Amino acid sequence: MRPIGEKILALWFSKIIGQKKSFGGMFQLFSQYRIQMCQFHQVRIVKRYLTQKPESEASIALLNIVKQLCHTDKEQFISLFEQWINKWYAFLKERRIEPRTGKTRYVHSRLRSAYLSFKRNMPYLWTWSDNMEIGIPNTNNGLEGKFSDLKSKLRNHNGFSMQHRMIFIDEYFKDFFSHHIKQILGRFYHSF
């Protein structure tokens, strides 16, 4: 049953992984599980740093690579990313001295942040392709849809007390996961 638990955990984890404060602690807490970061959210993180229309050649090149994340395989994407690093590494390291403080800071800090975000998250962007037998999706669209459905149902019952809301949510996910597990087990048994 571990693969099903990993799939559920991956869906839950992909929802909260974007929160910087919980980032490192979550990886340590769930280190025994395979974790998939939502590729769509990684693209959004990088776009937030680079903007939609970056000006520098390095930023434009990185954005073009990032846009391919959800549409390419692991080896091709990593190869493109490594080529970009080799070409622009010195550019990322450029520093300047702040006149007021005398301290140095990176010239291209937003591009550097986008690059470091990718570098840090790269091992978690391809869990789905490395472990196809688990069936982890590469994005958390399914989870987002479930939460939207749950919110809609709770809005229809806005008179619930907090206790009844908790029971409703508990039963909602019990029903969802029992149905989901039956589907997975059905596919498993039919494969024999």
Q: What is the pLDDT along the chain (192 residues), one digit of tens a residue?
A: 344 445 445 554 544 444 444 455 666 666 677 777 888 888 999 999 998 888 899 999 999 999 998 888 899 999 999 999 999 999 999 999 998 988 999 999 999 999 999 898 888 888 877 776 777 777 666 666 677 777 888 788 888 888 888 888 888 777 777 766 666 555 544 544
The pLDDT, as a whole number, for residue 91 is 94
Question: How much is the pLDDT for 157?
Answer: 80
pLDDT of residue 185: 53
pLDDT at 160: 84
Instruction: Give the predicted TM-score (pTM) of the model.
Output: 0.64
The predicted structure's pLDDT at residue 169: 80
Give the pLDDT confidence score for residue 165 in this predicted structure: 83
As a whole number of angstroms, the distance between CA 109 and CA 68 comes to 23
- Give the other-Cβ count within 10 Å of 45's Cβ: 20
Closest CA to 88 of 108, 118, 68: 108
